[in-house]
Amino acid sequence: MFTGIVTAIGEITSLQPVAQGQLHRLRIATRYDQSNIADGASIACNGVCLTVVASGVDRGKTWFEVEAAAETLGMTTAKCWVVGTRLNLERALKIGDELGGHIVAGHADGIATILSRNDLPDMARFELTTTRELARFIAPKGSVTLDGVSLTVNTVDQSAFSVLIIPHTLGVTTLSDWRAGREVNIEVDLMARYAARLSEMS
């Protein structure tokens, strides 16, 4: 489990398709302490929970490797990642950690597309759209995870919704790079999903 609070930005330094392209093995450089990264650990990469299969240090820089399987490549923006792609990273939640965002599974539900960016003094407002199936779980003042970042929804209009990004978030995540037309990973709020399911069963 995660909270949607990014703790580092990583950069893909190598990407190798394996299993006839059905699996991508990625090496990601990070400022994390390598001694605290165990094989089998979970790290959310742009909101996608991936399992560490190797780690090390190269020229004083920590790296770890993960493998993105066919389902991940088909459902998320991982299919578009290349060497040089910057990723929002978050280590798995530990008992006793502060829950600063909201409960995030790291299982991206799909993709949202940025419709527009409006730069305000020190802030940025983004309007996005996603599928109708996912949009029904998005509500004003509710939570949504975009590229691994826990955000509060401002407005909703059918399948379109908006978020306002504060200066701190712009400074410590990749959201400052967002532009109209970009695709981002989206995970809807687990509580909204369960509430909708209970309503369907009643």
pLDDT at position 192? 76
Dist CA 128 CA 118 (whole Å): 12
pLDDT of residue 28: 98
Mean pLDDT, residues 144-162 taken together: 97
What proportion of the chain, given as a percentage, has pLDDT over 90? Answer: 82
Non-local CB neighbours of 60 within 8 Å, separated by 6+ positions: none
Q: Is pLDDT of 193 > 80?
A: no
Three-state DSSP class for residue 81: coil
Do 89 and 44 contact (CB within 8 A), yes or no?
yes
C-alpha–C-alpha distance, residues 136 and 100, integer Å: 25
Contact 188, 137 (CB under 8 A): yes
Return the percentage of the chain with pLDDT > 70, whole number. Answer: 98
Residue 144: which residues within 8 A CB-CB, separation 6 or more? 138, 151, 153, 161, 163, 186, 187, 188, 189
Q: pLDDT confidence of 201, banded at 50, 70, 90?
A: low
Overall average pLDDT of the 163-171 stretch: 96
d(CA 16, CA 38): 22
pTM: 0.93
Contacts of range 78-81, beta carbons closer than 8 Å, 24 or more positions apart:
78/24, 78/45, 78/46, 78/48, 80/183, 81/12, 81/15, 81/24, 81/26
Mean pLDDT, range 32-50, rounded to an integer: 97
Asked if the model's pLDDT at residue 197 lies above 70, the reply is no
Contact 56, 97 (CB under 8 A): no
Q: What domains are there in the chain, each with its CATH number? A: 8-91 (2.40.30.20), 110-201 (2.40.30.20)
183 pLDDT exceeds 80? yes
pLDDT at 184 over 70: yes
- Rounded Cα–Cα distance for residues 126 and 119 (Å): 9
State pLDDT tens for residues 63-114.
999 999 999 999 999 999 999 999 999 999 887 777 777 889 999 999 999 9
